[in-house]
Amino acid sequence: MRARGRATVPGRTNGLRGSIAATTAVVALLLSACGSGTGERRTVTVNETVTAASTADTAAAGATDGTAPDSTGAPATDSSAPATTPATPSTTSSSAAPTVQVDPLTNDCAALMNAADVKRTLNADIADTRARIQDVANPDRGVTGRIKCLYGTADNKSGDVTILLTQYTDAAAATAQVAATVTAERDLGAKVAEAQVQGFGAEILLRDGGLIVLPYDSWTLSIVVAGGKADDATLEAGLPQLADTVLTRVLKNT
């Protein structure tokens, strides 16, 4: 899904983008790649100064730069546009386990997912490379922090698969952002389907790729798959499995 943009509901990054804030943030990128010949893994740390997207709390498959999807995955909408009533995201099932208090922003991308997980759940091949981006907070939308993990990346700005973990001020803010994302993506023509991940309600959005968004306590987990990596049927079946794997590791590792 490409990043889409207008300025309330976060945007995707190909063609449609969220507005860019004038804030400049220092971003640490951790890129891991296989060494040549021996298969030895190398980790390179890069410090960059980038312009942070103020409304980038929406995920989009096929993101082309580091301002891409946010943990909820909704396109930004212009603040002057008429307000819309967000759709209500799927509710938590009675079979869901009690939420565990964790800090999702402390996670190491290498511990959350790898190319083998993508192959197993989506039957898609991606390069075994990754980058970690620490984003700035956005108090206007209740965002206190966010990390993006790019997998199969060649430029440290976009990936074949992206995981976004976004922390909000409270659970209500997290749920509201998911609802806004669903509404915005549906308006843009996305196919919307509900799913369950460990008993918690999640939303699958299919448009030029795939996105699954899961609110968990006061944070959200989003996984974005770039267009062309898998067909819609595979994404709809495989994204909940991939989200289950990632959620388990987030809760275990923090």
Which structural domain range is residue 113 located in?
Answer: 1-254
- DSSP for 190-201 reads -EEEEEEETTEE
For residues 57 and 72, is the Cβ–Cβ distance under 8 A?
A: yes
Contact predicate 5/66, CB 8 Å: no
E strands, the chain, in order: 20-34, 41-53, 130-135, 143-151, 161-168, 191-197, 200-206, 209-216, 219-226
pLDDT tens, residue order, the chain (254 aa): 544 433 333 434 343 333 323 333 333 333 333 333 334 443 333 333 333 333 333 444 333 233 333 433 433 333 333 333 444 454 444 466 789 999 999 999 999 999 999 999 999 999 999 999 999 899 988 999 999 999 999 999 999 999 999 999 999 999 999 999 999 999 999 999 999 999 999 999 999 999 999 999 999 999 999 999 999 999 999 999 999 999 999 999 87
Neighbouring C-beta atoms of residue 68, cutoff 10 Å: 34
Paired tokens of 169: 């001020």
Burial tier of 7 (Cβ tally within 10 Å: 0-12, 13-18, 19+): middle
Q: Which of 43, 3, 24, 60 lies closest to 222 in space, CA to CA?
A: 60
**What total of structural domains would you count in the chain?**
1
For the full predicted model, state whether its pTM sits above 0.85: no
